[in-house]
Amino acid sequence: MARKNDELLKRLLATFRVEADEHLQAMSSGLLALEKMPQGEERAALIEKVFREAHSLKGAARAVNLGEIEAICQSLESVFAGLKGARIAVSPPLFDLLHQALNALGGLLAADAAAPGARPPAIGPLTRRLDEASQGMPPKPEARAESAVAADVHLPPPAPGLASGTVRVSTAKLDAVMRQTEELLLPRLAAGQRAGDLRETAAALAAWKKQRARIQPALRLIEQALGRSGAANRAAGAQHEFAKLLEYLDEEDLFLKTLEGRLARLTKSAERDWRMLSGMTGSLLEEVKEMHLLPFASAIEIFPRFVRDLARDRGKEVELLVQGGEIEIDRRILEELKDPLIHLLRNCIDHGIEAPAARGEKRKPAHGTIALSISQRDGGKVEILVADDGAGIDAARVKAAALKLDLVSAEEAERLGEAEALALVFRSGVSTSPIITDVSGRGLGLAIVREKIERLGGTVAIESHPDTGTRFRIVLPLTLATFRGVLVRAGGQLFVIPAASIVRAARVAAGDIRTVENRETITLGGQAVALAGLDDVLELPRNGATGESAGHAQALVLGLGTERIAFRVDEVLGEQEVLVKTLGPQLARVRNVTGACVLGTGQVAPVLNAADLMKSAVKRAAPPLAPAVEEPAGAQQRAILVVEDSITSRALLKGILESAGYRVVTAVDGSDAYTALKTETFDLVVSDVEMPRMDGFDLTAKIRADKSLSELPVVLVTALESREHRERGIDAGANAYIVKSSFDQSNLLEVVRRLI
């Protein structure tokens, strides 16, 4: 622990020396200007400026325990307070004394930089003379000389270039350079597009030249035929004209060869220029990005004190452990990250870590531990982990809080797994605290955390175990602004989706799409994933899926924490680096859109917000590949087999379907239904799952195994609502899986209309 404190002090001292040098320079220039005896407001402004610089240097010196510098600055403050209040007369001896004080400060800084801890003596006479001057006693020439000698002998002169290896630049200037550098990405993309256009033009010219070469033999044959034909005068004239045509074509061939050569040279030049521009802009952009990077530790230096004070205020003992503080992140991300981390630390202390007595009952150490660690991941990302060893989060209490706020229905709450229930803590207003305090209880802290992290292009997830603790896992990009994006077409328009949010791309067969709880679903990697149309989520007109062929569709699977949703798109055009532009203050928050970018073709494409897309998809049931009709043609001729062992449920389903115009036959279990299927033709089967002799899963599997019935749509309607049962229904081959707790008439009829 002592070594960590020493390292922190060393970093603070290095920062202080750079800051102190700036203060000394400002004070020296102010004194020189003041010596020219300005009057009125100008004089007052100069005195105020030097006064403020001395005050700032005093505070900085106190922070790093440099008492001698603090003492001199304190005396200087007194002198300038007297000048400000017109209690001290300005005189050359006074200016000499003030310059000697600045020399002494520079000497102290130089001595500390050369040998930290070594403090030169003889600052006492100097501070006494300054204190006397502040009381209106003019410095005597002999005393001034004595002070000058003391300062000159005992304090070495300021070392030139205290920060010779660094230059301090305002963040506004640095951000401006960063923006201009990022703008170079646009001409780089345009140059790449032009090089690609030239390649395509050269390829088209070469293809046309090949086509043209194929007609040459035919023209020669025609020429020979004309020479052999009768009617000499007419044939001679035609042959002469044809010879002129062949001569022109031969000259054109030479011209095409010249044009082809020039085009090839232009293509090579354009590609060379593009490569040079790409290399130069890439290197420059990386260098400027490096200038924006700061160690993670620089953003959390206040956290140990914050944790200590807040824990004591709550009557708890908490230790903060930090790992990976040396990893560097974009300064802009660090600035935005402080607030979410403070919310998480406050949550860990107030909700997670128990009081010492409670920890003792659980045989835990009296002091709790919060681990704050950061690690680098592939793809230009960092992972920040905030973990405590407290009581954990009760998923049942989270559900109860969400139910109380009507964020979920009772049926939805029952279906939620533990991970899904814990994710509700990020919803605004959800809190498990029994009382509202100034620290917590309003349910806003974690909602703010999620909103800010997602705004930075990151994700946050939560894991918790009773009496073991809670872990918040944050994944963020290392830098902002430019990122890799996937260009897609949906609804006839171009969009860019951040590549960091895409789990995988997939080609989906229409036959692999199933309907589960009125939502289209596909199976990827053995897991059921909801499928939504990107054009439908964005509420765009469907102009025809150019990327779909032979019953297949292209889809991108987006991931947020443990949640996965697939989005069907018309076409995936490729991945490229893009520069995100904000939409301006007039459009500060547009649903599903985070900004816009300019493509190499000059087109402007919206950059989509992955988190918003997934939320919008959850609220909206995905439509099928083909638009559903209002009423099936000849509905009275469609036959449906209802399989249900409960007479009440059987009568209910039969009544709903018959009222919609379908012909309905019923069966009491799977065996009875399979017999009916072998003796009569049906367009669809609606079946319960739990039945005697043969249940709905086995019936579905048997239908799929029968060649004559394998294409028959099957809808399972059941009270079994767990994820395992839904996935088992999909594996068995069901086309839809409707849970009775969320069952309603329109839901069933909509599914039936889609399938027949």
Average pLDDT, the chain: 77
Least confident residue range of 20-24, 26-30, 469-473, 479-483:
479-483
Q: Tokens representing 252? A: 């054109």
Q: Are 501 and 610 in contact (CB under 8 A)?
A: yes
Does position 440 have pLDDT exceeding 60, yes or no? no
The pLDDT, as a whole number, for residue 482 is 57
Is residue 469 within 8 Å of residue 392, measured between CB atoms? Answer: yes
Q: Write the CA distances from 47 to 22, 82, 90, 135, integer angstroms.
A: 17, 10, 11, 17
pLDDT at 625: 42
- Its CATH class, for the domain covering 2-154, is mainly alpha
pLDDT at 165: 57
Positive or negative, the CA dihedral 360, 365, 370, 371 is negative
Q: Which residue has the higher pLDDT, 145 or 108?
A: 108
Residues in the chain: 756
Q: Supply angle C-alpha 709, 747, 421, rounded to 5.
A: 105
| Helices 696-705 and 670-679: angle between axes, nearest 10 degrees | 30
Residue 479 CA: distances (Å) to CA of 288, 358, 476: 11, 43, 9
Instruction: Please list, in sequence order, all residues whose beta carbon lies within 8 angstroms of the beta carbon of residue 332, skipping any fewer than 6 positions away.
Output: 175, 292, 480
* 116 or 257, greater pLDDT: 257
Burial status of residue 485 (CB atoms within 10 A of its CB: 0-12, 13-18, 19 or more) = buried
Residues 221 and 104: their CA atoms lie apart, in Å, by: 104
Whole-angstrom distance, CA of residue 634 vs CA of residue 156: 103
Q: What is the DSSP string of 314-355?
A: TT--EEEEEE-TT-EEEHHHHHHHHHHHHHHHHHIIIIISPP
Separation between Cα atoms, residue 528 and residue 33, nearest integer Å: 76
pLDDT of residue 27: 86
pLDDT of res. 146: 41
pLDDT digit string, tens, across residues 616-654: 887 765 444 444 344 444 445 789 999 988 776 787 788
**592-629 burial string, b = 16+ CB within 10 Å, else e?**
bbbbbbbbbeeeebbbbbbbbbbbbbeeebbeebeeee
Contact, 119 vs 64, CB < 8 A?
Answer: no
Higher pLDDT, 497 or 186: 497
Query: CA 424 → CA 381, 432, 453, 565, distances in Å?
Result: 25, 11, 16, 18
Instruction: Pick from 15-29, 573-587, 740-754 the range whose average pLDDT is largest.
Output: 15-29
d(CA 421, CA 197): 52
Phi, psi dihedral angles at 474 (to 5 degrees): -110, 130
Looking at residue 542, its pLDDT comes to: 67
The closest alpha carbon to 273, from 190, 201, 203, 204, belongs to 190
**CA distance to 27, 46, 386, per residue, from 559 (Å):** 56, 59, 21
Which two structure tokens, joined as six digits, stand for 307? 């944790």
d(CA 381, CA 379): 6
Q: Indicate the SS3 state at residue 430.
A: coil
Q: Is 659 exposed, middle or buried (0-12, 13-18, 19+ CB in 10 A)?
A: exposed
Residues 6+ away with beta carbon under 8 Å from 175: 332
DSSP 565: E
Homologous superfamily of the 635-755 domain (CATH)? Response regulator (3.40.50.2300)
Average pLDDT over residues 268-297: 79
Contacts of residue 580, defined as CB under 8 A and 6 or more positions apart, other chains included, come to: 481, 482, 483, 594, 595, 596, 597, 607
Are 568 and 555 a contacting pair, CB within 8 Å? yes
Q: Which residue has the higher pLDDT, 580 or 654?
A: 654
Helix (H) or strand (E) holding 109: helix 92-114
β-strands 482-490, 493-498 pairing: antiparallel
Q: Residue 206: pLDDT band by 50, 70, 90 thresholds?
A: confident
Q: What is the CATH number of domain 482-619?
A: 2.40.50.180
Question: Does residue 441 register a pLDDT over 50?
Answer: no
- What CA–CA distance (Å, rounded) separates 178 from 480? 11
How many angstroms separate the CA atoms of 334 and 329, rounded? 7
Grouping H, G, I as helix, E, B as strand and the rest as coil, residue 39 is coil
Q: What is the pLDDT of residue 641?
A: 94
Say if CB 349 and CB 370 are below 8 A apart.
yes
Whether the CB-CB separation of 532 and 490 falls below 8 Å is answered with no
**Residue 226, SS3 per DSSP:** helix
What residue type is assigned to position 166 of the chain? Answer: T
Whole-prediction pTM value? Answer: 0.48
Six-digit token pair at 264? Answer: 């090839």
d(CA 565, CA 526): 14
Q: Quick: pLDDT tens for 294-342.
A: 888 877 877 887 887 788 777 888 888 888 888 888 888 888 888 889 8
CA distance 485 to 220: 55
Q: Tell me the pairing of strands 563-569 and 514-516.
A: unpaired
Structure token digits, residue 722: 């767990």
Distance, CA of 516 to CA of 553 (rounded, Å): 19
Check whether 230 has a pLDDT greater than 60: no
Nearest-angstrom CA–CA distance, 718 and 741: 9
For residue 226, what pLDDT is reported? 63
Q: Where are the domains of the chain?
A: 2-154, 182-292, 300-477, 482-619, 635-755
Alpha-carbon dihedral angle through residues 322, 325, 329, 331, given to the nearest 10 degrees: 90
CA distances for 102 relative to 13, 68, 393, 437, 731, angstroms: 19, 13, 58, 50, 82
Pick the CATH number of 300-477 from 3.30.565.10, 3.40.50.300, 3.40.50.11810, 3.40.50.1860: 3.30.565.10
Predicted confidence at residue 113, as pLDDT, reads 61
pLDDT band at 564 (very low <50, low <70, confident <90, very high): confident
Helices (H) and strands (E) in the chain, counts: 24, 23
Residues 6+ apart with CB under 8 A from 588: none
Residue 218 pLDDT grade (very low, low, confident, very high; cuts 50, 70, 90): confident
Strands (E), 413-481: 459-465, 469-477
* Mean pLDDT, range 86-95, rounded to an integer: 82
